Structure 1
């Protein structure tokens, strides 16, 4: 299966960075012009059945021209993280990172709980509801919606049917469990009304409306000591409630020596918990250009490190010990040489 942006344009660089976790994929387009030239964007896809369906396009709430939002991406079952290396907060090209909570479900609220009950679900997933009707006999249930962008011209499907209309039978006052499958072409924020129209064999009708709404959260994080041209957000990796973010032009240990930051999630959100640098850091090591985290271990690349020759490169392993991240290994290619 080949995936292309539905609104792709020349020079967007869709696919510059990608990340995959479970049934979610995120794809960066760092040169998208949605909020100004090269402001950038990302696209989220979800595996539904055998197909990867487009879920939503994200741009930062404060994106500006030249930010390169989408330069780095990472996704898990719960969060999507996006780097914007040229963002100017706090200084020119210091860089920033945006965290989105994709575990937040559309909130389903029924107007008439005597007839329809619903539960929170993820966008494009099944919406269960229970129908209780006062008569016995054959009924037709038809579901329609407002403000939903369609996929394949069918945005609502009722369980037991191939479309948004179901012919079935019911017994008076006996609950019947049905399921709506609502698929939006683009994750839409705000409220969408869904209406079910029930018609029985005697010609009586009952109309029921309820809503689903997607309330996404966005948190912007910047390095506590960020300076101009640090390029915080050049690379990102997620693991459970930890994220690692590279800033390969950080100058704390020498010009462009580089650094990486650990962020930890708690009930109040994401906060910086550690800044990492190599024990033998030098100027132009570019430590933090590539980062990865898994469980209690973080791996950080420094492609400019020159122990085995100019630009031969190295990678460093850090281990989380309590609340501290401790460098435990320096890795170099056994046949490393000058670039």
Structure 2
């Protein structure tokens, strides 16, 4: 069986983390690689959930920042079938990565797939719950966790689309900084005709998260899958459009946005890949900003 090694990967400080979420009957694992003095990348550690179990899909989504990694396990069954969970690992002074927290939703329910997407900044983690039913059937949600002064992680917000739809794909992807969160909404249903969207939230002065903007492609058409993957830094947002047809069927593209002086996000460039050899390259099906 294909372990899907490389399905998700991230840098965390000087370490590279690569997931293999289908390993060992979909138990899942994440491998850590560090660069040697000679410049070679060498495996240094294998991460497993503290409550490792078959079909958990640990490593389906991973994200890193400095000496922290958050790892999604959307099929975790502790709180119901496929309710999901996410795990925080931190790198110690000895260079060893240790699990420090298991995150679950405060209103956890079976089949929500909490952990299908994850992101982390220094003191803020975001976890997508693709099939959350709070508003409409499978309309999705994203949970925000703050790191407290004693190193614990506490849920502080639950984000939902301002215009929720059934099976919209909300929270299929998430990304964040300390000040902004972006939540992608792109249906993974092959029969969906949705263009896709991405929702931006900003942190207010009182610490709460408020809806700021909904991003859509400038020339979007049905099945573009805008927002299937998203990335953000302090001044830029990147949205993948893996179903874009500009260079042929589903060759894909990437839309760039910049933050204006009044903190609006403005689309300014669309990137197309060269040498995709025609159809179904799905350019934009994986993103990172620096």
TM > 0.5 fold call: yes
CA contact (8 A) 1:24 1:75 kept: no
Distance of 2:120 and 2:11 partners within structure 1 = 11
SS at match of 1:101: strand
Distance of 2:6 and 2:54 partners within structure 1 = 19
Distance of 2:83 and 2:99 partners within structure 1 = 23
Aligned-residue CA RMSD (Å) = 1.7
1:98 correspondence with 2:81:
no
Change (3 A) 1:217 1:60: closer
CA contact (8 A) 2:123 2:178 kept: no
Name 1:248's counterpart in structure 2: 130
C-alpha displacement at 1:261, in angstroms?
A: 0.6
**Relative contact order, higher structure (CA 8 A, sep 6+):** 1
Name 1:81's counterpart in structure 2: 70
Distance of 1:263 and 1:83 partners within structure 2 = 14
Distance of 1:304 and 1:287 partners within structure 2 = 8
CA contact (8 A) 1:89 1:222 kept: no
Name 2:215's counterpart in structure 1: 331
Name 1:70's counterpart in structure 2: 59
Unaligned runs of 5+ in 1: 1-9, 107-121, 124-186, 188-215
Alignment of 1:1-339 (within 5 A): 10-33=1-24, 37-49=25-37, 50-102=39-91, 104-106=92-94, 122=95, 216-266=98-148, 267-304=150-187, 310-321=193-204, 322-339=206-223
Distance of 2:26 and 2:60 partners within structure 1 = 11
Name 1:114's counterpart in structure 2: none
C-alpha displacement at 1:46, in angstroms?
A: 1.7
Q: What whole-Å deviation, never above 9, does each CA across 1:284-320 have from its counterpart, x for those lacking one? A: 1121010000120001001139xxx931111000001
Unaligned runs of 5+ in 2: 224-290
C-alpha displacement at 1:48, in angstroms?
A: 3.0
The list of structure 1 runs, each at least 4 consecutive aligned residues, that deviate by more than 3 angstroms after superposition, is: none
CA contact (8 A) 2:70 2:86 kept: yes
Change (3 A) 1:32 1:304: closer
CA contact (8 A) 2:13 2:67 kept: no
CA contact (8 A) 1:257 1:281 kept: yes
Q: State how many pairs are aligned.
A: 217
CA contact (8 A) 2:50 2:99 kept: no
Q: TM-score, normalised by structure 1?
A: 0.61
C-alpha displacement at 1:268, in angstroms?
A: 4.3
SS at match of 2:133: coil
C-alpha displacement at 1:100, in angstroms?
A: 1.0
Q: Work out which of the two has the higher radius of gyration on C-alpha atoms and give 1 or 2.
A: 1
Q: What whole-Å deviation, never above 9, does each CA across 1:102-131 have from its counterpart, x for those lacking one? A: 1x223xxxxxxxxxxxxxxx35xxxxxxxx
Q: What whole-Å deviation, never above 9, does each CA across 1:191-223 have from its counterpart, x for those lacking one? A: xxxxxxxxxxxxxxxxxxxxxxxxx34311100
Q: TM-score, normalised by structure 2?
A: 0.71
